[in-house]
Amino acid sequence: MPQVEFKEWMLENALHLKKELFAKLLMILWALWKNKNNLLWNSTKQSADALVLSSLAWLEDFTKAQQVKKSSHSKLRKTWKPAESGVWKLNVDESFIPNTTLGGVGGVLRDGAGQFQVAFAKPIPDVAYDRQVELRAVDEGLNLVGHLTIEHSSDRN
Question: What digits encode the pLDDT tens for the residues 89-118?
Answer: 999 999 888 878 888 999 999 988 888 889
Shared domain for 16 and 71, answered yes or no, is: yes
Shared domain for 12 and 67, answered yes or no, is: yes
Domain assignment of residue 51, given as a range: 6-75
Question: What digits encode the pLDDT tens for the residues 17-71?
Answer: 898 899 999 999 999 999 999 899 989 998 888 888 888 888 888 888 878 766 6
Integer Cα distance of 29 and 44 in angstroms? 18
Evaluate whether 92 touches 135 at the Cβ level (below 8 Å). no
When mean pLDDT is compared across 2-6, 43-47, 121-125, 149-153, the lowest value belongs to 149-153
What's the Cα-to-Cα distance from 63 to each of 17, 25, 27, 56, 132, rounded to whole Å? 18, 14, 12, 10, 26
Q: What is the per-residue pLDDT for 155?
A: 45
Shared domain for 71 and 11, answered yes or no, is: yes
Shared domain for 56 and 93, answered yes or no, is: no
